[in-house]
Amino acid sequence: MAAENKNARVIVVGGGLAGLAACVRLAEQGVSVDCFSIVPVKRSHSVCAQGGINATNEIARQQGFSEWMHMDETLFGGDFLADQPPVYEMTHWAPRIIDLLDRMGVPFNRTPEGQRDLRLFGGSLFKRTHFSGATTGQQLMYALDEQVRRYEAEGKVAKYESWEFLWPITRGEGAERRCVGIVAQDLRTMQIRAFPAEAVIMATGGCGLIFGKSTNSVMCTGGAAARCYQAGAWYANGEMIQVHPTAIPGADKCRLMSESARGEGGRVWVPAKKGDTRDPRQIPENERYYLLEERYPKYGNLVPRDIASREIFSVCVDDHMGVDGRNQVYLDLSFKDRDELDRKLGGILEIYEKFAGEDPHDVPMKIFPAVHYTMGGLWTTFTPQERPADPRQDLNCGRDTVTGMKFGAANTMMTNITGLYAFGECNFAYHGATRLGANALLSCIFDGLFSGQGVVNYVRTEAEPVENVHQSLYDEAVQQEHFKTQRLIETAEAGHNDPATNPYQIALEMGDEMTAACTVVKTGPRMEQAMTRLRELQDRYQNVRLADGGMWTNQNLSFTRALGDMLILAEAILQGSINREESRGSHYRPDFPDRDDQRFHKTTIAKFNAKTGRPDFDYRDVVTGLVKLRPRDYGKTSSEPKKSKEPATV
């Protein structure tokens, strides 16, 4: 395009780490930003991240590790399903992201000398996880929130908090299709409005609520991503859902017990004798079965999440060895020094004490796996860039050149709809088939800062100025949403609680079914059964009825609308799981227990078919070229409890 567009405006949907990082990058580059968030941005789900953020530091390099190794562990952890150049770029940018966050004032834990301290995390053989107590996500997000507030005070960012994204506005068809704005609704006044912009960044996180009780926050419905999917954006690797091994089961959600609990030495065990109901403190060392340490001597309690989840699940569900006969195992920190625990894990131990009513300094915690992270998401692309290997960062990589992503390329993390981007958890780009602990914060911030520059360049030089877009396009989009809203509002009947058509009941059943059929262990027949149930629920949803027909702060409407989108996205997730007849990362199929690179070293792409209302599937080869595929077993030994046990050293 000819002249640079100085008045370009970008919409960021979502105010978590990825969204805020994007706002900061865009605002710094002088692009006007409208940030939309369903909650005040400071309350975004990113605050729940506890453990830390991965980045190689100088000590690791001197010990023979490097960014390359971080990349290798990420790819290996994700069972090689991730495209390799984005992972290369992310892991190599990690150190400078940490430095930047440090400059922004994040209170990273310190060594006695005043350096940033590191902890060990799952799936790693070297310490590369920076942390800020046990609330790292909160601390990182606040630092970015503060920077955005500064830009907001300067008038460079406008926040639309308590606004819900309803639909992307596009013009043109096929490859020419461009995103030129969004429709959003104020959740207080219920006003529906169109907002034009040269580009739209979706940074709306995961879809844990599809599984009912997960570790996610109440707004993590995946509704926004599902709307983009229905509008024609491709949804990739939907079947890759991470189940976190250690969560505290609760009535309203499952609260996360960070991997850092294991990183700081926490040990997972069950009584070696089935039905042993003694107080855990009374059970001697040699009558405890440390399942992960015995099955995976090399990584011990720090095997990746999918493996830990599966082992805990199998000990409870298959071997019936769960504590008190229930689906729970011990996560033990009670043998550790109290002060050290407080300093490094205070925040999360407090959560356990508050919500479980027992002090984890004294007694082992009772935990069970819960749905945690959405590796899949909106499909995005990038521009590869070949460059010479760096002897420091790519130590012992055995190659002369490497392939990363081109900084500032306009298509970086752009969906198949031009001008519509997806950053952070809501894209599929970095974690493959399972995510390593402490890589989520990294990928979110990396997208905002790195991929954000691509958006800057896109709106400046490639996007068509929205002044050229006819107003009628926006009016029609608003009209469309008014129509959908009205259709739901008209069903309202105060006091409505008929289970058949009650949205909360349908959501509950969807969550139960999806959790039972499509999480830790997936089998073809069970998933087919779940698909039948899901179709039933979709049918019931056609007759869904609200209990609130008002047009003021109608949360009933917002929830029911999201439920419709969740049911559609759930189908893509479930069908993707059925189709992938192999086991890879978090996707474990006992009926297909091995990884099948021949058939499935491919990205699943679900395309919403507006005619059938169902997904069509397409498979694309994973972009490799940096690391060769190898079996991912983390050195597993026998899965039987040994007869005599020695206390393992931590």
Partner 1 sequence: MTTATDTRTRTIKIKIKRCDGPGKPAYWQTFSVPVKRGEGANVISCLQYIAANPITDGGVATTPVAWKSGCLEEVCGACTMVINGKVRQSCSCLMDSACPNEGDTLTLEPMRKFPVIRDLFVDRTRLFESLKRVKAWVPIDNLWEQGAGPKETPDEQQTRYKLSECMSCGCCMDACPQFHQIADSAKWQTAFIGAAPISQVRYFNLHKTGATLKADRLSEMASQGGVSDCGNAQNCVKHCPKSIPLTESIAAVGRATTIHAIKQFFTGK
Q: Is 149 in the site for partner 1 (CB under 8 A)?
A: yes
Cα–Cα distance measured from residue 30 to residue 52, given in angstroms and rounded to the nearest whole number: 31
* Residue 478 DSSP SS3: helix
Cα–Cα distance measured from residue 34 to residue 36, given in angstroms and rounded to the nearest whole number: 6
Please identify which residue in 6, 278, 320, 326 interacts with partner 1, judged by CB under 8 A: 326
Please identify which residue in 505, 523, 579, 624 interacts with partner 1, judged by CB under 8 A: 505
Q: How far is the CB of 164 from partner 1 (least distance, A)?
A: 14
Burial of 180 per CB tally in 10 Å (0-12, 13-18, 19+)? buried
Please identify which residue in 30, 64, 105, 613 interacts with partner 1, judged by CB under 8 A: 105
Q: Is 396 in the site for partner 1 (CB under 8 A)?
A: no
Please identify which residue in 55, 82, 166, 219 interacts with partner 1, judged by CB under 8 A: 219
Q: Both tokens of residue 481?
A: 């949403």
Helix axes 555-579, 223-230, angle to 10 degrees: 70
Q: Give the list of residues 6+ apart from residue 602 with CB closer than 8 angstroms, or none.
A: 619, 620, 621, 622
Q: How far is the CB of 271 from partner 1 (least distance, A)?
A: 13
CB closer to partner 1 out of 70 and 601: 70
**Which candidate, 210, 183, 137, 141, places its Cα nearest to that of 36?**
183
Cα–Cα distance measured from residue 628 to residue 393, given in angstroms and rounded to the nearest whole number: 19
**Which candidate, 64, 117, 98, 180, places its Cα nearest to that of 420?**
180
**Interface mask toward partner 1 for 521-550; x: CB under 8 A:** --------------------------xx-x
Interacting stretch for partner 1, rule CB under 8 A, among 61-69, 226-234, 250-258, 259-267? 250-258
Please report, as residue ranges, which positions from 174 to 203 form the binding site for partner 1 (by CB under 8 A).
188
Q: Both tokens of residue 119?
A: 């902890």
Cα–Cα distance measured from residue 237 to residue 378, given in angstroms and rounded to the nearest whole number: 9
Query: Are the C-beta atoms of 144 and 24 separated by less than 8 Å?
Result: yes
First to last CA, the chain: 60
Cα–Cα distance measured from residue 292 to residue 300, given in angstroms and rounded to the nearest whole number: 5
Please identify which residue in 2, 3, 62, 114 interacts with partner 1, judged by CB under 8 A: 114
CB closer to partner 1 out of 150 and 392: 150
Cα–Cα distance measured from residue 435 to residue 450, given in angstroms and rounded to the nearest whole number: 20
Q: Is 449 in the site for partner 1 (CB under 8 A)?
A: yes
Please identify which residue in 5, 32, 138, 427 interacts with partner 1, judged by CB under 8 A: 138
Catalytic residue among 305, 460, 561, 580: 305
CB closer to partner 1 out of 177 and 496: 496
Q: How far is the CB of 349 from partner 1 (least distance, A)?
A: 13
CA triple 57-80-314, angle to 5 deg: 100
- Torsion over CA of 55, 61, 65 and 66, rounded to 10 degrees? 50
Q: How far is the CB of 117 from partner 1 (least distance, A)?
A: 8
Please report, as residue ranges, which positions from 350 to 379 form the binding site for partner 1 (by CB under 8 A).
351, 354-358
Q: Both tokens of residue 572?
A: 């893509």
Please identify which residue in 4, 63, 150, 387 interacts with partner 1, judged by CB under 8 A: 150
CB closer to partner 1 out of 40 and 64: 40
Q: Is 337 in the site for partner 1 (CB under 8 A)?
A: no
Please identify which residue in 153, 467, 638, 643 interacts with partner 1, judged by CB under 8 A: 153
Q: Is 398 in the site for partner 1 (CB under 8 A)?
A: no
Please report, as residue ranges, which positions from 268 to 307 form the binding site for partner 1 (by CB under 8 A).
none
Task: State phi, psi for 336 to the nearest 5 degrees.
Answer: -90, 165
Tell me the β-bridge partners of 130: 53, 118
Pairing status of strand 178-186 against strand 192-196: antiparallel
Q: Is 344 in the site for partner 1 (CB under 8 A)?
A: no
Query: Are the C-beta atoms of 390 and 91 separated by less than 8 Å?
Result: no
CB closer to partner 1 out of 327 and 624: 327
CB closer to partner 1 out of 132 and 380: 132
Query: Are the C-beta atoms of 210 and 411 separated by less than 8 Å?
Result: no
Please identify which residue in 274, 278, 343, 387 interacts with partner 1, judged by CB under 8 A: 343
CB closer to partner 1 out of 279 and 621: 279
599 is catalytic: no
Please identify which residue in 13, 87, 90, 100 interacts with partner 1, judged by CB under 8 A: 100
Q: Is 495 in the site for partner 1 (CB under 8 A)?
A: yes
Please identify which residue in 152, 394, 425, 582 interacts with partner 1, judged by CB under 8 A: 152
Please identify which residue in 104, 395, 469, 648 interacts with partner 1, judged by CB under 8 A: 104
Q: Is 110 in the site for partner 1 (CB under 8 A)?
A: yes
Please report, as residue ranges, which positions from 30 to 59 form the binding site for partner 1 (by CB under 8 A).
39-40, 42-45, 47-48
Q: Give the list of residues 6+ apart from residue 198 with CB closer than 8 angstroms, or none.
A: 5, 8, 9, 10, 180, 419, 458, 459, 463, 464, 465, 466
Q: How far is the CB of 352 from partner 1 (least distance, A)?
A: 10
Per DSSP, 327 falls in state S
User: Would you please indicate which residues are annotated as catalytic (active-site) residues?
Assistant: 305
